[in-house]
Structure 1
């Protein structure tokens, strides 16, 4: 990938020869903030002047981003976007959502169509060459959803002990057998054309378990209390974070500050309420005293 002008500026290689770099260092102009100011306004300042935040996200993937019965966006990603707007303007409604597919997340950032992508984006080293990730706000993985009543197995240990007697259903893709095999190498696998079809197979007891993203499994348990239960084992972890266009440390640092203080500080109640609503997870209150994240 060709090195961007912004990347060269961040590293002091664009518009500065050896003498210029030395002069800049002597004047104290080589900090990230100073370099960003030298090439123009931070996006943080531009957003404040514009009066609204523009967020790239989706609309079809609960519990992350989806529409309610009235067509209003909701979900964990939407809550985070509104938290950013609240901290920018003291008004969580001052956000414009640009709905996009997953394949548009990087292009919309690098072409300045959006200020930030908040769209269940998995952090990878490859993507980190094109965008800059915020700190993660969720650790995703796959898990097995079981029927809480009337199913053959109550938990992962029972399925593991059953070996080849277990059948796992999941949405058809080229990795399905590999993913199931990492946890249950002897299990049979049935592939279905959609998550809904996989879930129907579980409800009809044609499969013993449904392979799903752990967040989706938690959401289903929230929506139908008492019907489903998680097997108690998750694997293939990956981190979800927001992403911004490279080259603006002021904007990235500000977003990270909001996220960190939502997890550990002033906005913890808001963040914890979202985790409870969308995933059924009760977050422990951060300990008062020495910051536990540095322990």
Structure 2
């Protein structure tokens, strides 16, 4: 696996692969890699000739600076994981390589900025859109792979690609979970063993709520019961919403054939976690 820290060097590598008519699959990450990332890379490996992964803890998408400081950084371990899944190239830049000066670019994703993650993390999606745009320009991939756990972010990136006409296909990959049902996340590393056991109730509550919705009970009728269930387990719910899984617009129940998603953000041991169930 080649490791690149400079944009110019990575671009040279990409140009060489393009000259050989190789397709490029790209997995952007912030490191602290786990089996969820391995699945993204595995899918990329099966679909693309060359797999490129980036590890960059993007400072502009953190509205909480303490969260940025505490974000786990496990570069040596990450490199071993990437080698194990036969990644071809790792882009590992410093912040001043991506942001040579403070960016003045501002994205506005309309109503998506005022719901769920957009509402609770002001400026987050602007930071995501800026760095993903930069990475797409640098890597110029044919395919880019994102996990469904960050469902609203996935919708934002699809909108970004559509509006700016990036020549890249966005591939979504289902969420990978612990045996307990807890969604794999780099933030899980900051939880104690007890905290992980508590956090497993997040997915359990979503499964219970899904079952109720499919039986005909309205979302509003059962939402507060789900929140109270989690509160009793020691979990603080930031939001719990039922949305169209493509548009992220709120819906009131599951009475048609459209795909919907239960989306949640919750705090366990001071660690903010997100999850969803699509059905």
What TM bracket, shorter-length normalisation?
Answer: under 0.3
- Indicate the structure whose relative CO is greater, using CA pairs within 8 Å and at least 6 residues apart: 1
Q: Which has the higher helix share?
A: 2
Relative to the length of structure 2, the TM-score reads 0.27
